Amino acid sequence: MTPPPAAGRAPYDAVELIRCKRDGGELEPAAVDWLLQAYTDGEVAEEQMAAMAMAVFFRGLTRAELGRWTAAMIASGERLDFSGLSRPTVDKHSTGGVGDKITLPLAPLVAACGVAVPQLSGRGLGHTGGTLDKLEAVPGWRAGLSNAEMLAQLEDVGAVICAAGSGLAPADKKLYALRDVTGTVESIPLIASSIMSKKIAEGTSALVLDVKVGTGAFMKDEADARALAETMVGLGQDAGVTTVALLTQMSSPLGLTAGNALEVQESVDVLAGGGPADVVELTLALAREMLGAAGRGDVDPAAALADGRAMDVWRRMIRAQGGDPDAPLPRARETEVVRAESDGVLTSLDAMAVGLAAWRLGAGRARREDSVQAGAGVELHVKPGDRVRAGDPVLTLHTDTPERFDRARAALEGGWSVGPEAPRAEPLVLARIA
């Protein structure tokens, strides 16, 4: 256990806590509270927290430690309260992938079914796209809302997609940035506490998690993804938040686009009753889980998608945040088509390769302060299992800066293949964890 604090000193010593965890010991609850608050306040140095993160990376956290770690990150900031709304609330979180625009049609769809959706989202980094980057392709739309604006929009429209305020789990915000530059991102306890501290602090009464699995996902292995999902579900349930997780496939891109404006257009197509079958399937699967978690499992979201109610909420949601749902979306100035070199069936299309290509075309960022191109990205003309002939378009690359084409094509080398037989069909939803 944690060594006791020495007389006349701060309640705990950071170095002693690091040694305790490094050697496989368990931090007592008060030590975890002190560590996270002292780090947030700047009393624990960045290099000390980096060492602690590495110790957790190798030694893990017990369930008791993890629960306290998550609670301490929540306690470092404010906690929102949606209990005054006239309808139940439910949120959804995705661990991120390529072409994952599901939040855009999902939030208005669930709101159209009578449940409020406070969707606090983030920006993209690397090969995974960010929901806020996508929506900022809509002319006039703004991500920054005050708590009062968010509550008012939830009551009036039923759905809001916006940036999390600076007061929400500031310990996590600081630790997340540190993990990103110290090689400690891939730790299930640190991932789980990071996600769940923000979601619990957000104040929603129910949460559905979309945990991606595959080459384009953060978790490449299904066993690791299942462990992460089970950990997060446990944290949510322990905090009194009804929590469910779906494991979903992310070895090929979701839908037919990866980018910002490209994905917004695809989302609008889904709300209009069209769009790619896999995007529609996952949107409806997550909507049913969200409605069930919020106590509205008797409502069929497919009806709200088909009759236009979801589209109506989308338009109101965009307008409420200053956007123009009728304005043309940005288009890249330059395009280049990648074509099939032989006849056959597209046997694979690697999500990571497509994500890296979209990133290199300008749709993503290498650093958080980088800007993105609204029109940049990759358009897919075929999916695995589709037949192609030599010369047929497979992908179209979009960018404002044509000098990026070479590096984008390099990212796609070996990322797709054509063969004589169709690949074995994989289910989109791999498992449900509750």
Q: Report the distance separating Cα 258 and Cα 96, nearest Å.
A: 12
Active site residues: 93, 172, 179, 194, 198
Relative to beta strand 429-433, strand 242-249 is antiparallel
The secondary element (H helix, E strand) that includes residue 131 is helix 131-135
Q: Report the distance separating Cα 293 and Cα 230, nearest Å.
A: 16
Read off the tokens for 3.
């060594």
Q: Report the distance separating Cα 355 and Cα 216, nearest Å.
A: 7
DSSP letter string, 148-196: HHHHHHHHHTSEEEEEPPTTB-HHHHHHHHHHHTTT----HHHHHHHHH
Q: Report the distance separating Cα 233 and Cα 231, nearest Å.
A: 6
CB 397 within 8 A of CB 335: yes
DSSP letter string, 27-89: --HHHHHHHHHHHHTT-S-HHHHHHHHHHHHHH---HHHHHHHHHHHHHTSB----TTSSS-B
Backbone angles phi, psi at 364, to 5 degrees: -125, -175
The C-alpha angle 83, 143, 205, rounded to 5 degrees, equals: 20
- The count of C-alpha atoms lying within 13 angstroms of the C-alpha of 3, restricted to the half-sphere facing its C-beta, is 15
The C-alpha angle 172, 233, 300, rounded to 5 degrees, equals: 115
